[in-house]
Structure 1
Amino acid sequence: MAEQVALGIEESGAQTRARVRTVPPVSTVCEATADEVPASGPPYATLDDLSECAGLVLGSPTRFGNMAAPLKYFLDGTSGLWLSGALSDKPAAVFTSTGSLHGGQESTLLSMMLPLLHHGMYLVGLPYSEPALVHTRSGGTPYGASHVAGEAGRAPLTEEERVLCQALGRRVARAAARLGGLAC
């Protein structure tokens, strides 16, 4: 999903560049986190990544109708950005995936929005003027892009889900451009 959102950002027509990042896992024993550099995949997000971006799109799998603990732990560490207003007046959006159709997509999206609102960010959703939102029979909500990954977590994105992820990226990129910045 993150790659599709990034594709939408880069193909938005605005002068934008997407940065795909992940957050480190959180230990189940204590609040210790993983090594500084992941073994594979995107690099770990830093507070500098957030402060340098003109737009932000967060994604998380659903865990009991809420964002996953590693993202919550990362966001809990953004107090310095909140105090300085570093994220204020920037556009933001969210996306998620669940194991089942009724697995808590919308509540997860809303849970990710709360810290963004506290940071003073402008939330960008998906309007029903996006035809894929009207026609989807799997993921996709006005609150943000979503995907039904299935119990094994491996189901590919449907065409509508892919289109909605890209549309969300385009909307954030356009909002960032209108606000005078580049989306990441």
Structure 2
Amino acid sequence: MTTIAKQSPPGIITGAAGYAHAGAWILGLAAAWDAASGIGDTHTDIAAAYVDRPAQAVPQALLVHGVAAACLAVVGSGVLSRARRSGSLTACVAGWAGIVVAALACVQLALELVAILGADPSSSRGGGALFETVLRTDGAKMLTLAMFAAATCTASRRDALLRLWEVVSGWALGAALSPRP
């Protein structure tokens, strides 16, 4: 039987960090809406975008990868702490997945800041190669985030970690981020 939290779920800080993650991610995307490089851009185009718009690219990286990573680390640690108390293997998997997502976001932050601050449009590789690495890391992060969402929703069936609308949103997130055949 599914148990859904009727009141605030335990861990106000964990819940607030989850919402802060979403907020930081949305603000980060908004900060560089027209400045972000596209997947089909050449390495020179990517470096030029970084050189032309560092005032947008740096805050975007800090919000999307930095603040979001810190928030996900708090959420993952909170779920892991709950797993230890309840003995839930699924919650343990969810907690560790959240921590791995945070670690991957930190790697993205470091790579993107190096790419932005060291961008040289006259270089044939430079920032473009780092941007490609950021995108590949993002793929792994999104897959792990889908696993985190699914495992947290599954653990919530037993431990009442989430409210009903959060469970529905979590399953939708997991489905949206999962790879398609």
- Structure 1-normalised TM-score? 0.27
**Normalized per residue, which structure has more helix?**
2
- Structure 2-normalised TM-score? 0.27
Structure (1 or 2) with the larger CA radius of gyration: 2
